[in-house]
Amino acid sequence: MKIKNICCIGAGYVGGPTMAVIAQKCPHINVTVVDINEDRIAAWNDENLDNLPVFEPGLDSIVKEARGRNLFFSTEVDKAIDNSEIIFISVNTPTKTYGKGKGMAADLKYIELCARQIARVSKQDKIVVEKSTLPVRTAAAIKSILNNTGHHVHFEILSNPEFLAEGTAVNDLLMPDRVLIGGESTPKGKEALKALTDIYANWVPREKILTTNVWSSELSKLTANAFLAQRVSSINAMSEICEKTGADINEVAKAIGMDSRIGPKFLKASVGFGGSCFQKDILNLVYIAKSYGLDEVADYWEQVILINEHQKQRFSDLIVSTLYNTVSGKKITFLGWAFKKDTNDTRESAAIKVADSLLSEQAKISVYDPKVVAKQIYSDLDYLKTRSSEENRNLLQVHKDPYEACNQSHSVAILTEWDEFVSYDWQRIYDNMQKPAFVFDGRGILNKTELERIGFVYYKIGSGA
């Protein structure tokens, strides 16, 4: 099967970068990324590459190379579906906020809308690729919709979950550990698997392209995220024991990470994991387990979330108790708001919950983040509905300069591990703060000896020394 045109529904953190890389590596294929969000599409088409809606190191130069050549961003969803032999679905699959499964199950309404639209528009056979993260067996629902509505053309459904991490998306896409494609073992299923495999094989070694059945592929994505998040919760649980016992979590992580069975990656203690995926996908897994009556399995995975909530809460509790049990009217500076460095994404960022707790204690918070804009920070807080948006604006200020954010502060809290925080002039920050000047390093990135020499009272997550 010769593929000339593909499209992707959903121009978000996954759809945008993934399709940009496919377009760069496959100049012989036209790639159209469509979205109903007009502002987002306009931003993808912005002449000024600083205005792309997703910040990812290296993404701007790829978009510059391919956009207008064989990479297009558009709001004309029907046209793109009609023109394409392969359609990726990369829309959001958030946790349900209503009805059965509220707060746990994945909300599949956007997926179903896409499936109905594809069925309505398609007049020729199509390959439909699940790129979004989905509950296991979603392909059966998509298939049923596609086969029972529309023009009765043939649809082949593949599962091709995305494993990129934000902040390193471009590298992850260019050099993936593996590409996973699930499909049926019928002749048409094999043909579809080959068509998608051939696209990736333009730059990914074939031995790294793994093909499985559809259900294994869907479940592998949830499993990978559950294992990764479980590692963070495990190291964070140990960080609390370290603080009580005089051990140091970085030393413990190094010691266990040298065991080749454990490995050194993903063992960095933190103020808690964030991001749009871990919590949502584990909750989804817990819901699936419960729906099959597997309560022990559900409880096991739910604990990963509970430890994460605890880690965020204990960080804000520590700030309050260290600042003499009251932060009312005190200025606390947050360095970082994004859920990790090198991204402008704030979804489920630990900073949001920590800020919300401290604001409830009437603290005054100043925030500096190199990539997150004030509008996003206020919208994250307003979404919680803990207090009015006017109160949020009165209590929390967003600064464009880190030194200004720290001026006259009682304490600085590191919420994101941005590299630039390490090289700040900490003497200058100290000189302009209230004394005693406290630093709460929720990412363990600063140099304790250096900060204590300057005069800071320094707390590092996971360090009891």
Annotated binding-site members for substrate: 162-166, 221-225, 261, 268-274, 339-340, 443
- 230 touches ligand UDX by CB under 6 A: no
Are the CB atoms for 128 and 146 separated by under 8 Å?
yes
Are the CB atoms for 216 and 182 separated by under 8 Å?
yes
- Residue among 1, 3, 36, 201 that touches ligand NAD (CB under 6 A): 36
Q: Where are the alpha helices (DSSP H) in 100-176?
A: 109-121, 138-148, 169-174
- Helix H or strand E encompassing 42: helix 38-44
Residue 41: CB minimum distance to ligand NAD, A? 9
- Residue among 19, 77, 157, 164 that touches ligand UDX (CB under 6 A): 164
Among 23, 35, 149, smallest CA distance to 89 is for 35
Q: List CB contacts of 335: < 8 A, sequence separation 6 or more.
A: 368, 369, 402, 405, 406, 412, 413, 414, 415, 416, 418, 421
Neighbours of 86 (CB within 10 A): 24
- Residue among 6, 59, 77, 412 that touches ligand NAD (CB under 6 A): 77
Which residues ranging from 252 to 291 are in contact with ligand NAD (CB under 6 A)?
A: 276-277
- 171 touches ligand NAD by CB under 6 A: no
Single-letter code of the amino acid located at 85: E
- 340 touches ligand UDX by CB under 6 A: yes
Peptide bond into 436 cis (omega under 30): yes
Residue 38: CB minimum distance to ligand UDX, A? 26
Question: How many whole angstroms separate alpha carbon 339 and alpha carbon 348?
Answer: 7
Closer Cβ to ligand UDX, 41 or 232, answer by number: 232
- 14 touches ligand NAD by CB under 6 A: yes
Closer Cβ to ligand UDX, 9 or 350, answer by number: 350
- 220 touches ligand NAD by CB under 6 A: no
- 442 touches ligand UDX by CB under 6 A: no
Neighbours of 175 (CB within 10 A): 11
Question: Among 56-64, 147-155, 224-232, 421-429, which window interacts with ligand UDX (CB under 6 A)?
Answer: 224-232
- 9 touches ligand NAD by CB under 6 A: yes
How many contiguous H segments (helices) and E segments (strands) does the chain have?
18, 14
Single-letter code of the amino acid located at 159: S
Among 228, 451, 237, smallest CA distance to 340 is for 228
DSSP 243-288: HHHT-BHHHHHHHHHTSTTT-STT----S---SSSHHHHHHHHHHH
Question: Among 159-167, 304-312, 328-336, 414-422, which window interacts with ligand NAD (CB under 6 A)?
Answer: 159-167
Which residue in the shown chain puts its C-beta closest to ligand UDX? 275
- 267 touches ligand UDX by CB under 6 A: yes
Active-site option among 7, 26, 277, 406: 277
Could you tell which of ligand UDX, ligand NAD, none binds residue 77, using a CB distance below 5 to 8 A set by kind? Answer: ligand NAD
242 is catalytic: no
Q: Tell me 12's DSSP state.
A: S
- 133 touches ligand NAD by CB under 6 A: yes
- 12 touches ligand NAD by CB under 6 A: yes
What are the residues binding ligand UDX (CB under 6 A)? Answer: 162-166, 225, 228, 232, 266-268, 270, 273-275, 277-278, 339-340
| Catalytic site positions | 277
Applying CB under 6 A, which residues contact ligand NAD?
A: 9-15, 35-37, 40, 77, 90-93, 110, 113-114, 132-133, 162, 164, 166, 276-277
